[in-house]
Amino acid sequence: MTHKRGRRRSGRWLLLALLAASSTVMLLVITTPATSPSDRTVIILDTLPNTPNQEDFPTQCRTILEPAGYRVEVYTGAEVTVERVKALGKSPLIILRAHSSVFDEGVWFYTGEPYSNREHVLEQLTNELHIGRTSATANLTFAVGSTYIRNNLDGRLGGALVVLMGCDGLRRDDLAKAFTDSGAAAYVSWDGPVTVEQTDVVTLELLRSLVAKASLEAALQAAGRVVVASGFNSTMAFYPPSVAGVALNPG
């Protein structure tokens, strides 16, 4: 009899221990924030040359963003492939430091992937990708257009702020609309030509204001007050007009 009572008591203690353990697990599940590294990871795709006599652009971005709690993931040069663009996903901020221009009735930005007529053939035939050349002596690369963004990102951007630092990114709104249709909260770019120095300086000022919790409209106004002697008379603007009050997601 004593042996049976001992077994019953042992069984009750085991049940209580299991209930306590399961409660702890439930508490952990409920109280753990629903965040992931992508919620705090800024993506920089960088194919432009560095500005002379200054730290490289990604390093300057890190000095602004990392103290505010963001991780910065950088791809440069030939790492900025068509497939890398396709891999873009949820992020608070995506910076495309790349050449861009208007042709074939749309805005295109240039990757660092060398052009080949044997690669991405279907995408070339459907006008998702194009040949990109920044000058008569520059190597050919693949250029990405709005149709490629819309067909491949498909709502995955999770409220990202997309900044295209190249020329003419908002001279037409097709690429801007493709990014916002793919889940971006807003799109920022230039309405005309810019120099590398001009876009670097203004974009860094934009980031400083956004990290200080300014709205997108206020941050662009602050960035627009920066004067670059070698710059063109172009303006950095945002799309769509309704997102003036959007702010950078907290890190």
The CATH number of whichever domain residue 65 belongs to comes to: 3.40.50.1460
> Residue 84 domain-assigned?
yes
155 shares a domain with 62? yes
| 210 shares a domain with 130 | yes
Contacts of 24 (CB under 8 A, 6+ apart): none
- Tens digit of pLDDT at every position of the chain (251 positions): 444 444 444 445 444 444 444 443 332 232 323 445 557 999 999 999 988 777 899 999 999 999 999 999 999 999 999 999 999 999 999 999 999 999 999 999 999 999 999 999 999 999 999 999 988 778 999 999 999 999 999 999 999 999 999 999 999 999 999 999 999 999 999 999 999 999 999 999 999 999 999 999 999 999 999 978 878 999 999 999 999 999 998 76
Q: How far apart are the first and last CA of the chain?
A: 62
Q: Which residue range is the domain that position 95 belongs to? A: 36-243
Tell whether 151 and 164 lie within a shared domain. Answer: yes
Residue 38: the pLDDT is: 55
58 and 180 inside one domain: yes
At residue 179, the pLDDT reads 98
Number of domains in the chain: 2
Q: Specify whether 158 is located in the same domain as 170.
A: yes
Q: Are residues 26 and 48 in the same domain?
A: no
**What is the gyration radius of the CA atoms in the chain, in angstroms?**
24
Within-domain flag for 220: yes
- 208 and 98 together in one domain: yes
Question: What angle separates helix 196-211 from helix 57-65, to the nearest 10 degrees?
Answer: 10
Q: What is the pLDDT of residue 27?
A: 28
pTM of the model: 0.84
Statement to judge: residues 4 and 74 lie in one domain: no
Q: Token match 């049940």: residue?
A: 15
Q: Which of 32, 148, 137, 158 is nearest to 82 (CA)?
A: 148
Q: What pLDDT is attached to residue 251?
A: 65
Q: How far is CA 130 from the centre of its chain?
A: 22
Q: To 10 degrees, the CA torsion angle through 177, 212, 49, 146?
A: -10
Domain for residue 224, yes or no?
yes
- Are residues 116 and 89 part of one domain? yes
